[in-house]
């Protein structure tokens, strides 16, 4: 007998695309996964109570159909619940790609067509994956894919102020780079000074893609216990615009003005508050600290 699966659904996510997706895949999920418990949420704050009740009822599998906010809340609550009772069965997490970015699904290899994604998740098994933690001094949270500091934080803020389209991040990136002044930063990897100078971006990557298909960390591995760190140093605006196009192929890591490293912990120091983002959620502050937590989450995936 198949165990019940909790579905966390925010039908308004992705400009309503989550609700439309749900009408297409609900009967497919019932057939593929067995009995479903469906929790409809309107805001990310509603995720935690649903998850706690599901855990108390013995459900150990949860699938998210929602946007960045819903997924972010779910991941943070899952880690909290798993840590609160380490002896209990760990809850496993799966997600179906919606919205404009779908960057995490590219790292996992999840198909983007709804029917194929349902078949994929029906054949998926719990796989331990690394999770990142970011602390800006005033805010702290876990993240699954990529967190970053610099121009990317401003790009995300711009995207949040408008209805998101597939081209929103690219347009926002171009507008931001035209005005953004890279600050002076010091970056420490595992406690050792790695870079000092001006920087447009420091990406601390668990996954490989962000910003709607930018292959910012092409060699990142979600199972290795380390971040891939990518830093774009200060340079003339025209040159950084030229470097931007290479992020879609991953060729940017071959440039002399782009630095790459790997570390368990990363710290970014600056005399100014740094705009930051984590999995598409905006925050700011500083100094900013990141820590990779190996195998902190069980993720539904096909390997």
Which domains occur in the chain, in start order?
Answer: 5-99 (3.40.50.10330), 133-295 (2.60.200.40)
What is the percent of the chain with per-residue pLDDT over 90, rounded to a whole number? Answer: 51
Task: Output 172 or 52, whichever has higher pLDDT.
Answer: 52
Provide mean pLDDT across the span 62-74. Answer: 82
By C-alpha distance, which of 28, 207, 189 is closest to 120? 28
Could you report the per-residue pLDDT of 4-37, keeping only the tens digit for each? 899 999 888 777 888 888 898 999 999 999 999 9
Take residue 131 and report the two structure tokens written for it: 């999770």
Report the run of H or E that residue 64 belongs to, with start and end.
Answer: strand 61-65
SS3 state at 201: strand
CA distance 72 to 78: 10
Could you report the per-residue pLDDT of 35-50, keeping only the tens digit for each? 999 999 888 788 888 8
Taking the CB of residue 7, how many other CB atoms lie within 10 A of it? Answer: 24
Band of residue 233 on the pLDDT scale cut at 50, 70, 90: very high
Per-residue pLDDT, 28: 94
**Quick check: 1 pLDDT over 50?**
no
**Quick check: 94 pLDDT over 80?**
yes
SS3 state at 137: coil
Band of residue 153 on the pLDDT scale cut at 50, 70, 90: confident
Task: Output 274 or 89, whichever has higher pLDDT.
Answer: 274
pTM for the model stands at: 0.91
């Amino acid at each position: 007998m198949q165990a019940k699966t909790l579905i966390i659904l925010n039908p308004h996510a992705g400009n309503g695309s989550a609700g439309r997706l749900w009408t297409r895949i609900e009967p497919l999920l019932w057939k593929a996964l067995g009995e479903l418990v469906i929790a409809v949420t309107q805001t990310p704050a509603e995720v935690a109570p649903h998850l706690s009740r599901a855990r108390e009822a013995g459900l150990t599998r949860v699938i998210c159909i929602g946007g960045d906010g819903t997924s972010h809340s779910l991941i943070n609550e899952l880690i909290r619940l798993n840590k609160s009772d380490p002896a209990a069965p760990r809850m496993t997490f799966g997600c179906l790609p919606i919205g404009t970015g779908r960057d995490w699904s590219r790292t996992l290899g999840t198909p983007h067509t709804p029917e194929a994604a349902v078949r994929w998740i029906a054949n998926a098994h719990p796989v331990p994956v690394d999770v990142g933690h970011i602390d800006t001094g005033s805010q702290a949270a876990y993240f699954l894919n990529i967190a970053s500091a610099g121009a990317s934080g401003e790009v995300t803020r711009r995207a949040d102020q408008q209805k998101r389209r597939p081209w929103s991040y690219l347009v926002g990136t171009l507008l931001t780079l035209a005005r953004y002044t890279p600050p002076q930063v010091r970056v420490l990897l595992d406690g050792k000074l790695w870079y000092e100078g001006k920087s447009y971006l420091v990406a601390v990557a668990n996954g490989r893609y962000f910003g709607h298909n930018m292959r910012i960390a092409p060699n990142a591995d979600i199972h290795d216990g380390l971040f891939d760190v990518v830093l774009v140093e200060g340079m003339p605006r025209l040159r950084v615009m030229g470097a931007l196009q290479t992020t879609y192929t991953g060729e940017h890591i071959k440039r002399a003005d782009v630095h790459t490293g790997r570390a368990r912990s990363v710290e970014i120091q600056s005399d100014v508050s740094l705009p930051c983002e984590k999995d598409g959620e905006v925050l700011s502050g500083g100094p900013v600290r990141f820590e990779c937590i190996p195998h902190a989450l069980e993720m539904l995936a096909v390997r």
